[in-house]
Each structure stands twice: as C-alpha cells, then as structure tokens.
Amino acid sequence: MPAQQEIGVTSDHRVSKHFDTSAIFVVPKGVSELRIFAVGASGGSGNGFGVLLNNGGEGGTAVSNVSVSPGESLDVFVGIRGMDGGLPEGGSGGCSASGFEGGAAASGTAGGGGGGGGASGVVRIRGNEVLVVAGGGGGGSGVGNGGLIGRGGAGGSFGTNGRGLSPGRVKQGLGTRGGDGPANSTVGSGGGGGGIYGGGAGSELNSAIGGGGAGGTGTLEAGSLSADGGGSNCGSVSISYDAPLLDKNSK
C-alpha cells in the first residue's frame, strides 16, 4: 500500500520566471532562496563612412544563489543594447535601471562610435543591496581611412578592455555607469559598458582615432559566478526557486 502524504505537509516544485524588461519582483510566500541568472546587453557597433564595421563587445553573464525573505521586493533591471554609431553622431548608451546604463559614444566626421551596453541584474530594494550584476559590453569605435580601429570590450567578472589603437580601460566609468566617449574630430570612440564598475570609453589618439569602449564589471561576491560573453543583444534576467505546493486539504 503506497504511503499517503500527511495533510498540511508541503512539497516543492520548481518555478522559473524570465524578464526581458525591468520589473519589481516580490518574493513569494515560503521562498527563502533564489537562483538568479543575468545577461548584460552588448555594446553598439561603430560606424565608418556610413557602414557598421566594428562590433560592440558582448554583455557578461552572472549567476548566483541568494538568500531572501518572503514578501520582500527586488528591483530587476535589464540592460538595453547600446545604439549603433551614425555618420557623424555617436550612439547613445543602452538604458538600464538603478544607474547601470552604458556610456554614450563620441561622434566623428568619419563615423561615430557605438554606445555601451547596459548591465542587467537584481537589487534588493530594502537597503539598496546589489545582489547580482552582469556587465554590459563596450561600444565599438568608428573607422578612418578604411582601417580597423577598435572593437568594444566584453562585460564580465572583471570586464575587458576595449581594443584598438586607443582602447578604453575597465573601472574608468562614472561609478556604475559606463564612460562617455570623448569628443573626436575624425573617428568616434565607443562608450563603456555599465556594471559594478562602469567600463571606460575609448580614448582618442592625436585627436583623430578613437578606440573601443571597455566592458563593465559584473558581481564578484562569494557564491556568484560571472563570465565574459553571452549577451549579443539586449540583456535579460531569469529567477528560479523552489515554491512550496500546499496539500489541497491544508489551510
């Protein structure tokens, strides 16, 4: 004879929620731990004489198990891909709530850089505690004289520097926001990606050549895992947890 479940005893079932846009998540009753997987947005591409040539860096990924209290509210923010550069204007940085947006790119007569990607993650509203962040990718620079100048750096656990003749460096943004590209007369620099430390924008070389922006830095706390690459467009956040399933006869 099979064993019967006692009335009022709970059993768990796995629930997963996916966010493509920013939202407020309220921890359900009976839930004490969440597994959060975040993907940062990529940076925009640089423009060279009207053609998109230099890709922005990919957004980072971050995953962590976090302790929570039932009923508390969490701010889920999802990064937007940086805008592509124009001719001559630079792309704007990708939006992200909670101040983790990408930096704007610089304009250039030969083409503007791509904006930095916004970071994605989760913040505990009570105490404004950052739980998980996946850094955004840096924007690609414009191009001059037909030559490849610089690509954006990827977001990740430490971010990655931009590439090119005068690339942006990690941890040079304005706090959590990626750095803006400097004014440039010829080739626009890429904007930095958002993150725990915003990536620096590409700098300029002899006021002529702009580099790719650096990727933003993701979460580094114990129990979290953050990596380069993974987000090639807009970001996302997934939250999963074991939810108690009450017996139908329990109150």
Q: What is the pLDDT of residue 200?
A: 78
Pairing state between β 224-231 and 23-26: unpaired
Instruction: List per-block mean pLDDT (blocks of 10 residues) for the chain, which spans 251 residues.
Output: 39 87 96 94 89 85 93 96 91 85 88 90 92 89 54 67 69 74 75 84 67 75 48 87 67 43
- Measured CA to CA, the distance from residue 20 to residue 41 in angstroms comes to 11
Q: What is the dihedral of CA 93, 95, 99, 100, to 10 degrees?
A: -70
pLDDT confidence of residue 17: 96
Strands 23-26 and 73-77 come out as antiparallel
Q: What is the pLDDT of residue 178?
A: 83
Q: Looking at the DSSP assignment, which residues form a beta bridge with residue 224? A: 64
The owner of tokens 């940086």 is 82
DSSP alpha helix (H) spans, the chain: none
Beta bridge partners of 1: none
Residue type, 122: V
Backbone phi, then psi, for 147, in 5-degree steps?
Answer: -95, 150
Cis omega before residue 244 (within 30°)? Answer: no
pLDDT of res. 230: 52
Beta bridge partners of 15: 241
pLDDT in the model for residue 127: 86
The 224-231 sheet, strands edge to edge = 11-19, 236-245, 33-39, 59-67, 224-231
